[in-house]
Each structure stands twice: as C-alpha cells, then as structure tokens.
C-alpha cells in the first residue's frame, strides 16, 4: 500500500483539512489508525469552507455570540476547540516521535501578513490561548513574516511557516528559524523549538499551464521542490547548523503543501508520488489521501537528493520565458490575497450565523 510505503521511506502524512464533522463522526480518529495519518493542517480557506458551507457550527456560534463574542475572537475559539480535539488524536504519534510528528496548525489572521509586530503579538496570544503542546502557529513566510518567525521561535512558540514557494523564500524562512534558535541558545534557553516550512507545490504548475511546451507541463512544481529538498539537506550539513544541533536544536522540517492536483488529466496521487522524501511531511487533501489507499496505487520512489534533474527542469522553464523569481513573488502575494478573501468571507458568515 502506497501509504505504508511513504511511511517506510520516512515521510509523515498529514491531512490538509479539518471540520467539526470529521471529529464528531469519528472519521479523523479512524483515519489515524487505518491511513497512517500523524497530523493535520488548517488555513483560513479550510475553515471558511467548513463553517460557511454547513450548519455544524451554527449552534456554537450562536452560543458564543450570546456571550458577547464576535469576529476574530469568536472564530479563534471555534478553531482552537477543533484543533485541540484533533491534537489529542495525534498525541500518540507526538509521543512516539519525541515531538517531531503529531502536530496540528492554526494560522494567524491573514490581514496581518505585512505587519510583523501585530503578527508576533497574535502568535503569542494564540499560543497562550490554545495551551496545546502539539499545535503550530502558522506564520506566512513573507518579508514581514521572517521577523515574526524569528521572534516567535525566540519566544518558544512552535511555528509552521506557510506560503513558501521558492528556494529563496525557503532559505529566508530557514534563516529566521535558525536565528531565533541561536538567540535562545545565547540567552540560555532551551533550543528545542519545533518548526516546519510549508512549500506550496501545485500552484506553480497551474500558473504556467499555458506558458510552456507540452513536455514541461506539470513539471515545475516538483522541480522547485527538488531544489528545496536539496537545499534543505545542504543546510542541515552546514557547519552553522551543526553548531546549533550540537547545542540541542531540532531541524526545521520541510512540508509539501498544496499537493492536490489542479490539472484534471493528472492522477490524484501525482504530487504525492513525486515528493516521497525521507524526513519531510506531505499534507494531503482527502481525495488524495484516499486515492493513496486504493489497490494499485503507484509504488513510492524516494526523491533524488542531488537536485540535478530539478535544476535542469527549472532551467528549461526559464528558457521558455518564465521568470521564476518574479513568479514566486506573485504566487506568494496571490496566496496571501486568497487567504484574506477567505478570512473576510469567514468573518461575514460568522456574523450572519450569530443572529
């Protein structure tokens, strides 16, 4: 079975979704056992779909509204309730992996994407409010986010860096993590603060679908990940990281996000098959997770570590006229904008349901 093969390779499989229904009807609990799930992620779009398209949350929203709660405060209470229930299901995986696995994630308000100070304060507040040892606070890996990541790590807050697209953006996020850890070591604090770097994959291929020759279709996302995987291994082998590791620091794990296929011609497992890399995490949409469990799902083959084929593909895409650096910035800005839109829709729906 492909799911077990991915675990045997050394990759963690997390669900890219959360709804109260998955918790209430026991589906998430069952998938932990049957499908080898060891974590999950959430984002504003996921919660917008969960809350706006069902009546599952309506009663809780009305009760909280009667208590005088509204807006962001009401939403974060709902989200934390769900995520803490999910986190409890992953405690066994969390303990068995000494805290490396078994995590859930809660994102700061996307409205704060360019406000480092406000992001830092909200990350601290949500971390205290959740009071959950296996919950990440998600912070976008933007220019402003880099400072927020460093400060949050220094404060001892586990961070999931989101909205990363390119190798350069990954390096910035990794630098912020290492700087936060180095400051903790200098201050005599425990350097064991967990962090993951979430790389968005399929949006690359959607963005260039009509700009490339057929031989390069649906190749760029995997190639970018190949470059980032090679870079992550190089950084773990660097003298600077070895110094931090000797002091007890933990590696920032790479997480493949947005791994659902956008092209209907592709098999649902396309990105999962291509991104089987030891030590990494893959967050899977429900359809992809279930497809990996089907008889006949392709065998998992570990990603190449040298990045050579990835570099060749990226170079070919650039020769075809795509500016990778410019497109990475565009994709990050579009991702942030999409989350802002979901956030506004989410808060509007909560306001409507409150009455």
Token pair, residue 10, equals 């050394």
3-class DSSP state of 14: strand
Q: 36: which DSSP letter?
A: -
Per the CB < 8 A criterion, the answer to whether 253 and 100 are in contact is yes
Closest by CA position to 14, among listed 1, 25, 3: 3
Strand bridging mode 12-15 / 104-107? unpaired
Per the CB < 8 A criterion, the answer to whether 121 and 147 are in contact is no
Contacts 24+ apart (CB under 8 A), 54-59: 54/19, 54/21, 56/19, 56/20, 56/21, 56/24, 57/20, 57/353, 58/353
Per the CB < 8 A criterion, the answer to whether 352 and 344 are in contact is no
- Exactly one of 64, 69, 138, 353 is catalytic; which is it? 138
Token pair, residue 230, equals 């090679």
Token pair, residue 116, equals 């480092």
**DSSP result, 268-327:** TTHHHHHT--TT-EEEE-HHHHHHHTSTTPPPP-PPPSS-HHHHHHHHHHHHTT--HHHH
Token pair, residue 144, equals 């402003």
Q: Is 340 among the catalytic positions?
A: no
3-class DSSP state of 37: coil
Q: Which residues are catalytic?
A: 138
């Amino acid at each position: 079975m492909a799911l077990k093969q991915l675990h045997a390779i050394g990759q963690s499989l997390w669900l890219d979704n959360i709804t109260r229904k998955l918790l209430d009807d026991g589906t998430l609990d069952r998938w932990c056992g049957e499908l080898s799930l060891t974590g999950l992620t959430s984002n504003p779009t996921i919660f917008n779909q969960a809350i706006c398209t069902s009546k599952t949350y309506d009663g809780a929203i009305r009760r909280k509204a009667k208590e005088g709660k509204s807006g962001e405060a009401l939403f974060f209470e709902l989200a934390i309730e769900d995520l803490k229930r999910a986190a409890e299901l992953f405690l066994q995986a969390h303990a068995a992996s000494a805290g490396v696995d078994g995590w859930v994630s809660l994102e700061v308000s996307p409205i704060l994407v360019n406000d480092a100070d406000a992001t830092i304060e909200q990350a601290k507040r949500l971390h205290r409010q959740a009071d959950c040892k296996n919950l990440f606070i998600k912070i976008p890996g933007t220019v402003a986010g880099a400072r927020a990541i460093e400060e949050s790590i220094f404060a001892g807050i586990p961070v999931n860096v989101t909205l990363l697209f390119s190798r350069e953006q990954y390096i910035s996020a990794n630098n912020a993590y290492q700087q936060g850890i180095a400051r903790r070591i200098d201050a005599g604090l425990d350097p064991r603060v967990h962090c993951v770097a979430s790389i968005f994959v399929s949006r690359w291929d959607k963005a260039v679908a009509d700009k490339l020759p057929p031989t390069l279709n649906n190749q760029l996302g995997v190639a970018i990940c190949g470059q980032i995987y090679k870079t992550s291994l190089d950084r773990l082998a660097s003298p600077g990281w070895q110094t931090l590791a000797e002091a007890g620091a933990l590696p920032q794990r790479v997480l493949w996000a947005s791994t659902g296929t956008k092209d209907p011609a592709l098999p649902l497992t396309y990105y999962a098959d291509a991104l089987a890399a030891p030590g990494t995490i893959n967050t899977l949409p429900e359809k992809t997770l279930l497809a990996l469990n089907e008889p006949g799902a392709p065998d998992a083959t570990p990603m190449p570590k040298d990045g050579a084929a990835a570099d060749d593909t990226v170079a070919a895409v650039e020769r075809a006229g795509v500016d990778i650096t410019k497109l990475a910035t565009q994709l990050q800005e579009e991702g942030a904008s999409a989350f802002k839109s979901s956030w506004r829709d989410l808060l509007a729906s909560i306001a409507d349901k409150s009455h």
